[in-house]
Every structure is written in structure tokens, then in C-alpha cells.
Amino acid sequence: MYIIFLGAPGAGKGTQAAEVARKLKLVHIASGDLFRQALEQGTELGIKAKSYMERGVLVPNQITIEMVLERISAPDSKRGAILDGFPRNLEQAEALDKALSREDKAIDKVVYIKVSEEELLRRLSGRWVCRQCQTPCHATDSPPRVPGRCDRCGGELYQRPDDTEESIRKRLEVYSVETAPLIDYYRRAGKLLEIDGVGGVAEVAGKITAALGG
Ligand code: AMP
């Protein structure tokens, strides 16, 4: 089973995708996390991606598609995967469809999480992320039990360098120009599940589980 999580930055894709991956025992593949890991490890891929990420624009398709398709072809993804943050434009979506169809596979469902722009800005500017396990929390909505430490693994919390106001605005603009057309692409394919992303994590998770058929 291959499920895509689609939505603007700050819509809650990462949190919800991780939850569904745990429930369905599928790997959670987040393209942004793959880039951040590469950056932290100082690999060639990380160095190539750095300047794009800092500016809040998309890393070129060739680099991104190669990275994600390689990850999807790993043994732990053979049963399926939860894709988070990929695809982010039509070229990526078509490359993914093609790669899966070569193995007689296809995307099953696309979970599109809808949240207003005002709420996205509020969520992103208060977001803190664990350096170790990437779990996000929010300064006021879901503050950590121990200040500066991740509730899940105790790792150090930090604010992503691209969660500045300028970069957030750029990423939202990139989303509406490049990624939003995917909503129609998957709607036409009959795969889109539209989820209202307003509400607490558990409430939204409940709506997603129901839409995916329990
Ligand atoms: P995210 O963690 O999903 O918000 O991604 C952080 C940054 O990584 C984005 O602003 C892009 O620069 C880059 N990135 C992540 N996923 C993709 C993708 N599918 N295509 C191109 N760039 C991406």
C-alpha cells in the first residue's frame, strides 16, 4: 500500500504520516527529513540541497526524484510506504507513477490535509523539532514536558532554519504555485481524500483513519 500525504507546510503532514505509518506498519519516507539527514552528515546530496532549502524553494527534480525513488526501492519499502513531502510538483508525481507501474504497483490513496494560511503561519512560527527523531511540537499548542527536550526520545529540540517568517512565506508561495496542482491531479485519478486539518492531532488522526477505511 502506497499512501501520499499532501498539504502545505505546517498542515500536519509529518505528524499524521508518522502516525499512519506506525498503525499500518509501513515505512515513513519524508523527503525533507532525507535532505536534512544528508545535510547533517555533510554528504554530496546534502551540500547540493542546502542552498535551495535555505531559500525555501524546491530542490531540483532530478536530485529529489533520484533520492526518493532509491529510498522506495529499498527492501523495507517493498510492502508499501507512507510518502510525506513527495511528490511536490507534477513532474515528481509522474516520475513516481511511472516508477511504481514498472513494478505493477500504484499509489492507493492521497491524504490531502487542508488548513487555512493564517493557521499555517501560526503553526510554523511556533514549531520546534527534535534533532534526533524529527518529531515536531508547538511552543503553545503542544509544549514539551521538559523544556527544550523531545517528549518522545529526549532529544534536543530546535527551530528549523527555514521556519523564519521570510522562508515560511516563500515556502507557502512555492506550495500554492507548484504543489497545489497535485490536488487536481490526484482528484482526477479518484485517489484524493480531503481532510479538514483543523483540530488537535488525535482529532485529525481520527478523521484520516476513518477516510482510509478504519
Ligand atoms: P519539508 O521538511 O517537507 O518542509 O521540506 C524542507 C525543504 O526540503 C523544502 O523547502 C525543499 O527545499 C526541500 N524538499 C523537501 N521535499 C522536496 C521535494 N519533494 N521536492 C523538492 N524539494 C523538496
The whole-number pLDDT of residue 56 equals 93
C-alpha cell at 153: 526520545
Mean pLDDT on 64-88: 97
Closest CA to 28 of 65, 70, 71: 71
Strand order in the sheet with 81-84: 27-30, 81-84, 2-6, 109-114, 192-196
Place of cell 485529525: 204
- In this prediction, residue 139 carries a pLDDT of 94
The tens digit of pLDDT for each residue in 8-32 reads: 999 999 999 999 999 999 999 999 9
Residue 93 burial (C-beta neighbours within 10 Å; 0-12, 13-18, 19+):
buried
Number of H helices, E strands in the chain: 9, 8
The full set of domains in the chain, from first to last, is 2-116+167-211 (3.40.50.300)
Q: Which pLDDT band, with edges at 50, 70 and 90, does 38 fall under?
A: very high
The reported pLDDT for the residue numbered 112 is 98
Position 212 scores a pLDDT of: 95
By annotation, the residues acting in catalysis are: 13, 88, 127, 160, 171
* pLDDT exceeds cutoff 90 at 132: yes
Q: What is the residue-averaged pLDDT of the chain?
A: 96
* Residues 6 or more apart whose Cβ sits within 8 Å of residue 138: 123, 126, 127, 128
Q: Name the residue type at position 6.
A: L
Which residues contact ligand 1 via a Cβ below 6 A? 9, 31-32, 35, 52-53, 56, 58-59, 64, 85-86, 88, 92, 162, 171
pLDDT band at 7 (very low <50, low <70, confident <90, very high): very high
Tell me the average pLDDT across 83-101: 98
Instruction: Encode pLDDT of 143-194 as tens digits.
Output: 999 999 999 999 999 999 999 989 999 999 999 999 999 999 999 999 999 9
**Residue spans of beta strands (DSSP E) within the chain:** 2-6, 27-30, 81-84, 109-114, 127-130, 136-138, 157-158, 192-196
Q: Taking Cα atoms as reference points, which of 89, 92, 91, 70 lies closest to residue 81?
A: 70
